[in-house]
Amino acid sequence: MIKAGIIGGSGYTGGELLRLLLQHKEVTIDFVFSTTKAGLPITTAHPDLLGTTTLTFSCEINLDVDVVFLCLGHGNSTRFLEQNAFSDTTKIIDLSNDFRLKGDSGFGKREYVYGLPELNKEAITSADAIANPGCFASAVQLALLPLAKEGFLSNDVHINAITGSTGAGIQPSETSHFSWRNNNISWYKPFTHQHLGEIGESLASFGTTVGELFFLPNRGNFTRGILATAYTRFEGDLEQAQELYLDFYKDALFTHISEGPIHLKQVVNTNNCHIHLHKHGNVLLVTSALDNLLKGASGQAVQNMNLMFGFEEAEGLQLKAGVF
């Protein structure tokens, strides 16, 4: 058994991490740190865990745990680590965007490996620090990586993706509260979303030419999940594209190619990403779907932990979607 700590355990990603780790046969939760709820039962923030745990939020941190998950707002992980020096043997998995880009990956004595297992599995297994990918970034990269590897992204790529309200975090805002979000949809940060940087670096990692990415993110009137569509020119036929994707993901436990059109209910509450390919003339349409809180955040973080410690990759992640 390894000991795990969670920093920022009262938010959505912290709650999902707790749900997964409490069922993980190789992990015991050492502490769940929160500055706003210290001393209170975990269930005050996560009532879905009632009957599952009697843990309380802590105001103290064990700097010698085996692994620590940082579930902090973007920009806060750097400041937190400057003030709290974890043991050299503690593995760190950061769920913010602080260390995702190559220029930011070196911090202190550590080099943060970009934690997308379908791209960097070998590096993850030997890493002591992981930069967990963003939710939109995971959906878009998984949709496009096979094309990038084979040099089929030299033309411009148009991407449209819609996310549930949990993608905005637990703190209420004008565009996340119920009366605004319900029966509503809108785009935001058109062509400038912060995840474009990590997407671009991953697609360029194969050394092939990548065209301009035109990314339009949307807010959906549902709580969780991401459905992304991306299309670009592709001169091959559909069978060639399908073979390319099946080969790229042949060893991926959680990324699956569907012969039929996909929808969100297939993947919500799972660590899976489903992908579908459609050909129209000389344009290839790639659709991907995943749960923004699991494969897009906490589930992928646990997957990375499993790889880092040599556990079964799917341990703690045997989850089933509810399609009805």
Are 160 and 69 members of one domain? no
Are 128 and 160 members of one domain? no
How confident is the model at residue 137, as a pLDDT? 97
- State which residues form the domain around 303: 2-132+297-309
How confident is the model at residue 177, as a pLDDT? 76
The answer as to whether 259 is a domain residue is yes
Are 27 and 59 members of one domain? yes
pTM exceeds cut of 0.75: yes
Are 87 and 176 members of one domain? no
The answer as to whether 17 is a domain residue is yes
What is the sign, positive or negative, of the torsion defined by CA atoms of 21, 26, 28, 33? negative
How confident is the model at residue 74, as a pLDDT? 84
> Which pair of structure tokens corresponds to residue 225?
């999940």
Are 209 and 191 members of one domain? yes
Are 198 and 124 members of one domain? no
Are 148 and 194 members of one domain? yes
The answer as to whether 55 is a domain residue is yes
Are 282 and 148 members of one domain? yes
How confident is the model at residue 302, as a pLDDT? 98
Are 88 and 9 members of one domain? yes
- Return mean pLDDT, the chain: 95
Count of the separate structural domains present in the chain: 2
The answer as to whether 269 is a domain residue is yes
The answer as to whether 318 is a domain residue is no
How confident is the model at residue 189, as a pLDDT? 95
Helices (H), 150-297: 178-181, 196-204, 238-248
The pLDDT tens digits for 150-176 are: 999 999 999 999 999 888 777 767 777
Question: Which comes out higher in pLDDT, residue 307 or 178?
Answer: 307
Buried b (16+ CB within 10 A) or exposed e, 35-68: eebeeebbbebbeebeeebebbbbeebbeebbbb
CATH, residue 250: 3.30.360.10
How confident is the model at residue 176, as a pLDDT? 75
How confident is the model at residue 68, as a pLDDT? 98
Catalytic residue among 59, 71, 135, 273: 135
Are 146 and 78 members of one domain? no
Local structure of residue 237 (DSSP, 8 states): -
Q: Is 59 annotated in the active site? A: no
The pLDDT tens digits for 214-267 are: 999 999 999 999 999 999 999 999 999 999 999 999 999 999 999 999 999 999
The answer as to whether 163 is a domain residue is yes
Query: How many CB atoms are located within 10 Å of the residue 206 CB?
Result: 16
CATH, residue 75: 3.40.50.720
- Statement: residue 92 has pLDDT above 80: yes
Percentage of the residues of the chain whose pLDDT score is greater than 90 = 92
How confident is the model at residue 271, as a pLDDT? 98
The least confident of 137-151, 158-172, 203-217, 264-278 is: 158-172
The dihedral region occupied by 275, where left means phi > 0, alpha psi between -120 and 50, and beta the remainder, is beta
The answer as to whether 319 is a domain residue is no
The pLDDT tens digits for 48-81 are: 999 999 999 999 999 999 999 999 988 899 999 9
- What is the average per-residue pLDDT within 117-130? 98
**Rounded Cα distance, 189 and 191, in Å:** 6
β-bridge partners, 227:
162, 289
- Statement: residue 292 has pLDDT above 90: yes
The answer as to whether 204 is a domain residue is yes
How confident is the model at residue 166, as a pLDDT? 86
Are 168 and 261 members of one domain? yes
Are 188 and 121 members of one domain? no
How confident is the model at residue 174, as a pLDDT? 75
